[in-house]
Structure 1
Amino acid sequence: MWLTARIQLLDKQVHHSLDDGDECQPVTSWSLKADWWRDESGLGENCKTGQLGRALSSTRFDMPKRKYDPAYIKYGFIAIKHGEVLPQCVVCMKSLSNAAMKPSLLKHHLETNHVDKKDRDQSYFQRLGENVKRQRMDKTGQIYQKGAGIVKASYEVALLVAKNMKAHTIAESLIMPAAKILVSHVIEEEAVAELESVSVSNNTVQRRIEEMSVDIADQVVEGVKSSKYGFAIQLDESTDVTNCSQLLVYVRFTQSNAAKTELLLSQNLSNTTTGKDIFNVLDNFFKQN
């Protein structure tokens, strides 16, 4: 007898019965249940080459995703996420499919591929697992976290220099030597070498400040665009210490149900400072953003 799937009809208009010899009607809305049953009515013989048979043959069964159990470490496996949770062997670094996350299959991998390790205790695999996690290149790995910490420290030093309006060279000539002295006396001499990897040169500090200023400007523009109640601007033209005309534009908008006031634009007025010049500057800014 031909095996077919039990159909749960979701559309009332397609619920019908078939007699021997009837043609199969198209099933427009249905879902398959995982349990199978033996066909006693001959429906399968009539339909296995029709709409129902083709639908069944082309249907893909989505199996439920398996979850990682911390107890699987005794088989030498930890969890790794690539869209879905996969088991990764801490010995050979191989990742298996999600469907293979069963104690029997994980144990089979250990006993088949790592015979010399199958009698090791759980603490051994835990140590290997920690080493694997540190070597990962994603955000959970120690390499990424260390590199991210170095870059973050460089940005924070550049931000400190910008806030205090000091020369960019002060980071390399004063801040870094002072940090080394503090670390060598308070922590230990060996820790001073870790500071060498933090880049605080003149060019680096300048680049960091420029990148942060662009990011802040982008955040303000996005905040203005997403403001629920619109925005208001206040502008003023003034002259700086070099006798150059500067146009300053402040904007007030709402963000997270709170009013915020930020500097929206600061630009030189190279020629004249008439109302038309100011309007053209503002008009070009809003067109670009």
Structure 2
Amino acid sequence: MTTEETTDTKGVRLTAGDAELTVSPDNGCRIGSLRIGGTEVLRQGPRYGAFPMVPWCGRVELGRFRNGGRTHQLPVNAPPHAIHGTGRDVAWRPAATGPSSAAFTYDLADPWPYEGRVTQTFELTPDGLTATMSVETEGDSFPAQAGWHPWFLRTLEDGGEEVRLDFDAEWQEERGADHLPTGDRIPLRPGPWDDCFGMPAGVDVTLTWPRRLELKVSSRSEWVVIYDEQAEAVCVEPQSGPPNGLNTLPRLVTPIDPLEMSMTFSWRSLA
């Protein structure tokens, strides 16, 4: 990638064929817009689009996690828990941009208690988007997670039928009254969902707007949260571990072993 003048007050705009992606580095480096054939597929607004979840995903119980013998307290931004990391709340630095690709970084800082760097990249093609994220430590090892929280429009902006959601998970994480996984794996229950599912062969979820567009969300990771409790949008969230995973399934980032996560959207027209 080469550095080019693709940044404006609305973000960094990438194009490939009839696909157009806008990334907003000043607003948590979220995807603010994804237009396919001129049609927007993401819910619009400063809190929506598709934002990175880093250095944790989903809820952390009471905002507390342990690393060895040390207990850390995170801001409780979804009482009584901490939710979705700090990356969506900070400005990221463009590292490189080109016509169809871009990379951004930010340094981990307070309220996250460890030093490190997060890098996010986007590669757009006429029929797909690949996003990657890496978390590196600049000192002590620490547990971390990474993922994305896209808000897909339930109905496309110019009308048509509601989106259909298709996936086949091996299990569903049982959700307790506190919205955290209980630790039990159960057969899939009917929605609506705000639930985590396990896909050991990798995340594979298809969204279909009948006679309009099919979009597949895939990842090598085995964890995905599906959230479809709102009328406006549905969320398909690939992530490197389950909610509260800093406590229940910690993945250590070490000086020789960064955390790396990727996600791909692939689409085809049904018109």
Same fold (TM over 0.5): no
Determine which structure has greater relative contact order: mean sequence separation of CA pairs < 8 Å that are 6+ residues apart, divided by chain length.
2
Task: Looking at secondary structure, tell me which structure has more helix per residue.
Answer: 1
Query: Which protein has the larger Cα radius of gyration, Structure 1 or Structure 2?
Result: 1
User: TM-score if structure 1 supplies the norm length?
Assistant: 0.16
